[in-house]
Structure 1
Amino acid sequence: MSLQNEEMEVIIKVKRFSQDKGSWWQEYKLKVDRFTQFTEALRRIKTEQDPTLAYRAACHMAVCGSCGMKINGEPRLACKTLVIDTVKKYGSNVITLEPMDYFTPVKDLVVNLDDFYERMYKVKPRLYPSEEVLKGEAEHRLKPEDQRMLWKFAQCIWCGLCVSSCPSVRNDPEFLGPAAHAKGFRFLADPRDTITEEREKILLDSAWRCTYCYMCYNVCPRDVEPVTAIKKTRAYTKLAKVKSPVIETGEKHTQAVFESIFESGKLEEAKVYLSTYGVIGSLRDMIYLLQSGKLKYALVKEKPVENISEVRKILRGE
C-alpha cells in the first residue's frame, strides 16, 4: 500500500467528564488515513458514534487555538496533530485524549479558560497609541527591525497549552504565566506604545517568578518562545523606579551567577545561593544540609577552569 493510501484502525481513549458523573475513560474505534487530524477523528466520533462527546475546535489550521488538549499525555493542538503520526511516534494504535492540565474541566475535553483570559487581559493586550495618532494628527511608523523582533511574540493564538504545562503557574498565583508574558512583551517592546512604565509595573515582578523550566518552549504550537519574552522582559528591570522583593532577589541571583562564573568558570551553587539569600535567608537550608551530611559539598572551594581569562573575556563582551 502506498503512503498516500495508508490506512489503519486506531483505538482512541477519551478521558470524559461531566458534572454529575465525574471522570471516566471511554474507547472509540475508527479507521484513519495519513491525512486524518485529531479534530477530524473527534468530529467523526461525535457524528457517527457518540453525539454526547464534547470538545472544542474551529479553524482546523492552528490559528484559533480552540482545540488544545493532551494527546498521549503531551499538550498539543488536535488540529495540528495527525493520528497516524502519533501511532508511529509511540508505537501503538491506542491513543489517549485528555483535557488540558491546570484548567477545570467543564465537559469531556472542554475546560474553563476564564483564569487564562483574566491573566491575558491583565497585561493590557493592545497598543496604546499617542494622542496625536488618535486625533489623526500623526501616524506611527514601525521600523522593519522592530517588526522582526515583535513578530514572533505576536503569533500567540491564546490556546493555553503553555499555561497548562507550566509548574510556576500552579505554584505561584502571582506569576502571570507564559502566554501573558509573550503577549505583554509584544507591546512592552513596541516603540509605538505609550504606557511603557505601566507595563513594567505589571510585568517585571512576574517575570522574575519564572523558573525557566522551558515547558512553554516545548509545547507552543506556534514557536512563540514565551520564555524568551520573559528573559527580554527582565532586561527592563534596570528602568524600574520601584523594585519588589522578588525583583531584588532575582537581580542578586543574576549577579551571583555572573560572579561565580567570572571567578572560577563554574557555577558554584552554594556560593550563588548564599550571595542571593544571605546567611540568615539560607540558614534553614544550611541546617538541612548539615543534617543530611551534604554541607561538606557546599563548602568545597572550586578551582578555576583552565584558560579562565578566556571565560572572563566572554563575560566582559570582549
Structure 2
Amino acid sequence: MSENLQEQEVIFKIKRFNPEKGFWWQEYKLKVDRFTQFTEALRRIKSEQDPTLSYRASCHMAVCGSCGMKINGEPRLACKTLVLDVVKKYNSNIVTIEPMDYFRPIKDLIVDWDEFYDRMFKVKPRLYPSKEVLEGKAEHRLKPEDQKELWKFAQCIWCGLCVSACPSVRIDPEFLGPAAHAKGYRFLADPRDTITEERMKILIDSSWRCTYCYQCFNVCPRDIEPVTAIKKTRSFTKLYKEKSEVAERGEKHTEAIFESILKTGKIAEAAVYLKTYGILQSLVDLIYMSKTGKLKYALVQERYVQNIDEIKKIMGGESK
C-alpha cells in the first residue's frame, strides 16, 4: 500500500446523550486513512461497532448542513472535515466529538432545530415580488452588481454552526442570530423585493445586538461572513424611522467612534461612552467605577496621534 494511503488508528471520544441517562463520554477506536471524513468515521462506528450511536448526515458534500457538530471543540461540518487533518492540527490521535452548543440535545449528536428554524423564518426568507410580476405584466431584472452583492449571502445552507458559536444568541433572546441576518440581508438588499420597510423592522434592532466577536466568520463552512451582513444591515438604520432604543444608541455609538478617530486618531473611550449613553447614565456609571476603583481609567487623558491630518483625509474629514 502506498505510504500516503496507510491507515492510522484514531480514538474517537464522543459525547453521548439520551433523556433517561443524560450525558456521558464513550470511546471508539477506528483505523482511518487520509480520505476519511468524520461522517464516514461515524458511519463505520455505527455500522461496525455500536448501532445505538445517533447522528445526522445527508448529502456528505457540505450542501445540506445536516452534520454540524463540535469536533475538538470547534463547530464544524463533519462531512467537510477530514479526520487526519484534525489529528495533524492538534498533534494527537485522540479527537472529541460533541453535539453543537446552544441547541437542545435530543439524542447523542442530534440536536433540536426548532428554535433555529423559527429564527430563520422570522426574517421572511423569500422574495416578495411586485403585483405586476405576480400578474405576469412585468419581469424581474437584476443588475450584475446587485447579484454580486447578494450572491455570498444566498449561499447559507442553514447548518447552524454560526449560531452554535455565537455568544450573543445565548444571552440576548432578541438577537436573531448570524444565520438569520445573513439570510435576511440577502432579501433586504434585493432591489426586486417589495417589503423593505417590514424587513427593516424585523432586522435593524437585532443587528445592533451583535457584539462583533467574529465567531460566525470563523466557523462558517461556506465563507459567507454573517457579521458582514449584520454590518450592512446596520447601514439601513438611517433610512428607518421607527428606531428602537437599541438602534438609536448603536447609531450614537458609531457616530461617537467616527468623531473620536477623526479628532484624535484613535478611540477616546470616555468621550465615546459619554456621547453614546448621555450625561445621566455616564454619571451613574462613574459612581460605580469610583466604588470599584476603576475611575482612574475613565480619567486618562487622550493624546492625539501623529499626522492626524492624514487620518482625516482617509476618513473624509477636513484638515484643521
TM range (shorter): over 0.9
Deviations 1:183-238 (CA, angstroms, capped at 9, x unpaired): 00000001111111110000000001111010100000000000000000001011
Give 1:194-273 correspondences, 5 Å limit.
Answer: 194-273=194-273
Amino acid of the residue matched to residue 77 of structure 1?
A: L
Q: Is the 8 A contact 1:15 1:25 kept in 2?
A: yes
Q: Is the 8 A contact 1:256 1:272 kept in 2?
A: yes
CA-CA distance at 1:287 after TM superposition: 2.2
Correspondence for 2:152: 152
In structure 2, distance between residues paired with 1:148 and 1:141: 14
Correspondence for 2:62: 62
In structure 2, distance between residues paired with 1:44 and 1:283: 63
In structure 2, distance between residues paired with 1:293 and 1:186: 46
Correspondence for 1:25: 25
CA-CA distance at 1:2 after TM superposition: 4.4
Task: Structure 1: state its 5+ residue gaps.
Answer: none
CA-CA distance at 1:297 after TM superposition: 2.5
State TM-score, norm by structure 1.
0.98
Matched, 1:282 2:277: no
3-state DSSP of counterpart to 1:157 = coil
In structure 2, distance between residues paired with 1:96 and 1:296: 45
Give 1:1-318 correspondences, 5 Å limit.
Answer: 2=2, 4-316=4-316
Q: Is the 8 A contact 2:262 2:317 kept in 1?
A: no
3-state DSSP of counterpart to 2:69 = strand
In structure 2, distance between residues paired with 1:251 and 1:317: 19
Amino acid of the residue matched to residue 156 of structure 2?
A: C
When structure 1 is superposed on structure 2, of 266-275 and 46-55 the one drifting more is 266-275
3-state DSSP of counterpart to 1:26 = strand
In structure 1, distance between residues paired with 2:142 and 2:244: 32
3-state DSSP of counterpart to 2:9 = strand
Q: Percent identity?
A: 76
3-state DSSP of counterpart to 1:187 = helix
Q: Is the 8 A contact 2:39 2:78 kept in 1?
A: yes
In structure 2, distance between residues paired with 1:200 and 1:69: 32
Deviations 1:8-58 (CA, angstroms, capped at 9, x unpaired): 000001100001100000000010000000000000000000000000000
RMSD over aligned CA atoms reads 1.2
Q: Is the 8 A contact 1:103 1:111 kept in 2?
A: yes
CA-CA distance at 1:317 after TM superposition: 6.7
When structure 1 is superposed on structure 2, of 259-268 and 39-48 the one drifting more is 259-268
CA-CA distance at 1:6 after TM superposition: 2.9
In structure 1, distance between residues paired with 2:147 and 2:3: 41
Amino acid of the residue matched to residue 59 of structure 2?
A: C
In structure 2, distance between residues paired with 1:297 and 1:60: 52
Task: Structure 2: state its 5+ residue gaps.
Answer: none
Q: Is the 8 A contact 2:8 2:31 kept in 1?
A: yes
CA-CA distance at 1:288 after TM superposition: 2.9
CA-CA distance at 1:3 after TM superposition: 5.1
In structure 2, distance between residues paired with 1:7 and 1:210: 44
In structure 2, distance between residues paired with 1:6 and 1:264: 60
Deviations 1:132-183 (CA, angstroms, capped at 9, x unpaired): 1111111101111111111100010000000011011011100000000000
In structure 2, distance between residues paired with 1:156 and 1:304: 43
Amino acid of the residue matched to residue 87 of structure 1?
A: V
Amino acid of the residue matched to residue 106 of structure 1?
A: I
Deviant stretches of 4+, over 4 Å: none
State TM-score, norm by structure 2.
0.97
CA-CA distance at 1:314 after TM superposition: 1.1
3-state DSSP of counterpart to 1:192 = coil
In structure 2, distance between residues paired with 1:317 and 1:195: 35
In structure 2, distance between residues paired with 1:182 and 1:115: 17
In structure 2, distance between residues paired with 1:297 and 1:70: 39
In structure 2, distance between residues paired with 1:126 and 1:146: 16
